[in-house]
């Protein structure tokens, strides 16, 4: 996608669309594929949602978007959209990319090679020591340390990376310090690194936000190092995202008697690189460093825009789509084949159903019923 700096009007529209209820990264990307001008997408979204069966789609207020941008500026922060040159290429390569991120601190760090170090909040003393050693050595080797500013392994990794740059990805707004006792660490990262989030300013971290935070941690990084992670932990979610994104996964083995080691040990059984030192990480990543990331190419609709004829065809195919879709994701191409409808009619109907909150889009151009 061609990079550009957004005009003030485009930036405002971009943020309003990103902050609108029921418009997540997948729906945002689908709208921008259909309407390359974000202002057209913003105007069209409520009508498309009504066609999909939603009574009203409440677009984020212009005053709220302006206030958020002004507050971020006052904090010496920036909002970056995925079409802008300074948006980190690793995140732009995700399918779909986060529509916007807020950044406080050194934006230049986002252009450097990064590696994530994550693990248990209730980490052992030895786990915390090892996290500091591995993160410190990786940092001295020139890699930016990425983590989630949580207790335990995360905070040890950040502290070890402070001298040469570390990035904290938050589950709430970039102005919300969580956990609260990490105020000093937060301030140090603002001075010596960067804080990023895709959540609105002032939003407290909620359980449903942490998977999105974890997706960005792995997405930014060439690889994810897991130290002490229990089964069904957030660190394993980060590792699974890394696998989906084509990133490398590293895991430090632990005692089978320690519940904090079960997740990392399972990752090793499933193919993660057994890791005892930073050298294990560097030896694996050396061939891919500096190779760049392939950016996601938006899927263009066969029609340049939605017109009355395509909408009429979408009306005819919508019920067939509802019959074909279930909880298991189905490829859009397969849905087109099964319905026998024109591809542009299917993609239009799917977009309307997404905006109505009835259809969910998944990586790999797949969709499912909510």
Place 22 in a pLDDT band, splitting at 50, 70 and 90.
confident
| pLDDT tens digits for range 78-133 | 999 999 999 999 999 998 999 999 999 999 999 999 999 999 999 999 999 999 99
Q: 179: cis peptide before it, omega within 30°?
A: yes
Q: Give the pLDDT confidence score for residue 167 in this predicted structure.
A: 98
| pLDDT tens digits for range 197-218 | 999 999 999 999 999 999 999 9
If asked whether residues 250 and 204 sit together in one domain, one would say: yes
If asked whether residues 73 and 109 sit together in one domain, one would say: no
Q: Decide the pairing of beta strands 366-369 and 330-331.
A: antiparallel
| pLDDT tens digits for range 310-369 | 677 788 888 899 889 999 999 999 999 999 988 888 988 999 999 998 998 887 889 999
Q: Number of structural domains, the chain?
A: 3
- Kindly state whether residue 298 falls inside one of the protein's structural domains: no
At residue 305, does pLDDT exceed 50?
Answer: no
| Angle, alpha carbons 139-272-136 (nearest 5°) | 15
If asked whether residues 268 and 318 sit together in one domain, one would say: no
If asked whether residues 245 and 179 sit together in one domain, one would say: yes
Q: What is the CATH number of the domain that holds 137?
A: 3.40.50.450
Q: Give the pLDDT confidence score for residue 314 in this predicted structure.
A: 82
| pLDDT tens digits for range 248-276 | 999 999 999 999 999 999 999 999 999 99
Q: Give the pLDDT confidence score for residue 210 in this predicted structure.
A: 96
If asked whether residues 260 and 353 sit together in one domain, one would say: no
Q: Give the pLDDT confidence score for residue 294 in this predicted structure.
A: 65
If asked whether residues 42 and 156 sit together in one domain, one would say: no
| Total-model pTM | 0.91
- Kindly state whether residue 301 falls inside one of the protein's structural domains: no
Query: What CA–CA distances, in Å, run from 307 to 41, 135, 311?
Result: 14, 54, 6
Q: Which of 253, 270, 285 is the last residue of a domain?
A: 285
- Kindly state whether residue 322 falls inside one of the protein's structural domains: yes
* Closest of 28, 101, 87 to residue 59, by C-alpha: 28
If asked whether residues 281 and 329 sit together in one domain, one would say: no
- Kindly state whether residue 331 falls inside one of the protein's structural domains: yes
Query: What CA–CA distances, in Å, run from 80 to 100, 127, 211, 214?
Result: 6, 35, 21, 19
Q: Give the pLDDT confidence score for residue 307 in this predicted structure.
A: 60
Mean pLDDT of the chain: 92
d(CA 321, CA 362): 16
If asked whether residues 172 and 227 sit together in one domain, one would say: yes
Q: Which of 64, 89, 114 is the last residue of a domain?
A: 89
- Kindly state whether residue 344 falls inside one of the protein's structural domains: yes
If asked whether residues 211 and 329 sit together in one domain, one would say: no
On the 0-12 / 13-18 / 19+ scale of CB atoms within 10 A, 303 is middle
- Kindly state whether residue 3 falls inside one of the protein's structural domains: no
Q: Give the pLDDT confidence score for residue 311 in this predicted structure.
A: 72
* Closest of 163, 71, 111 to residue 292, by C-alpha: 111
- Kindly state whether residue 2 falls inside one of the protein's structural domains: no
If asked whether residues 337 and 203 sit together in one domain, one would say: no
Q: What is the CATH number of the domain that holds 315?
A: 1.10.10.10
- Kindly state whether residue 334 falls inside one of the protein's structural domains: yes
Q: Decide the pairing of beta strands 194-197 and 223-227.
A: unpaired
At residue 300, does pLDDT exceed 50?
Answer: no
Q: What is the DSSP letter of 98?
A: P
| Domain with 154 in it | 105-285
If asked whether residues 265 and 120 sit together in one domain, one would say: yes
Sign, CA torsion 130/250/297/314: negative
Span of 104-118, 152-166, 283-297 with lowest mean pLDDT: 283-297
If asked whether residues 138 and 83 sit together in one domain, one would say: no
């Amino acid at each position: 996608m061609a990079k550009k700096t957004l005009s003030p009007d485009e930036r405002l529209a971009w943020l309003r669309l990103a902050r609108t209820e029921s418009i997540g990264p997948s729906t945002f990307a689908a709208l921008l594929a259909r309407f390359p001008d974000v202002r057209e997408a913003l105007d069209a979204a409520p009508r498309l949602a009504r066609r999909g069966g939603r009574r009203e789609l409440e677009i984020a207020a212009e005053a709220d978007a302006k206030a958020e941008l002004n507050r971020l500026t006052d904090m010496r922060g920036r909002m970056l959209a995925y079409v802008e040159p300074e948006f980190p290429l690793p995140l732009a390569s995700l399918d779909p990319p986060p529509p916007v991120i807020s950044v406080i601190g050194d934006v230049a760090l986002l252009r450097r090679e990064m590696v994530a170090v994550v693990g248990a909040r209730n980490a052992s003393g030895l786990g915390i020591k090892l996290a500091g050693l591995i993160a410190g050595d990786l940092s001295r080797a020139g890699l930016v340390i990425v983590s989630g500013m949580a207790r335990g392994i995360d905070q040890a990794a950040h502290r070890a990376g402070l001298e040469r740059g570390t990035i904290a990805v938050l589950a709430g707004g970039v102005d919300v310090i969580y956990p609260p006792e990490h105020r000093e660490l937060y301030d140090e990262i603002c001075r010596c690194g960067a804080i990023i989030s895709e959540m609105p300013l002032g939003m407290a971290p909620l359980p449903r936000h942490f998977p999105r935070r974890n997706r960005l941690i792995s997405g930014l990084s060439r690889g994810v190092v897991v130290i002490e992670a229990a089964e069904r932990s957030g660190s394993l979610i980060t590792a699974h995202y890394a696998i989906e994104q084509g990133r490398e996964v590293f895991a430090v083995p632990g005692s089978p008697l320690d519940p904090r080691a079960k997740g990392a040990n399972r990752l090793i059984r499933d193919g993660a690189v057994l890791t005892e030192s930073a050298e294990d990480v560097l030896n694996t990543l050396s061939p891919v460093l500096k190779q760049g990331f392939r950016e996601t190419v938006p899927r263009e609709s066969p029609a340049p825009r939605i017109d009355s004829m395509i909408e009429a065809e979408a009306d005819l195919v919508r019920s067939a789509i509802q019959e074909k879709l279930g909880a298991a994701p189905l490829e859009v191409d397969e849905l087109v084949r099964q319905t026998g409808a024109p591809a542009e009619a299917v993609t239009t109907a799917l977009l309307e159903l997404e905006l109505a909150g009835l259809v969910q889009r998944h990586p790999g151009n797949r969709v499912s019923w909510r």
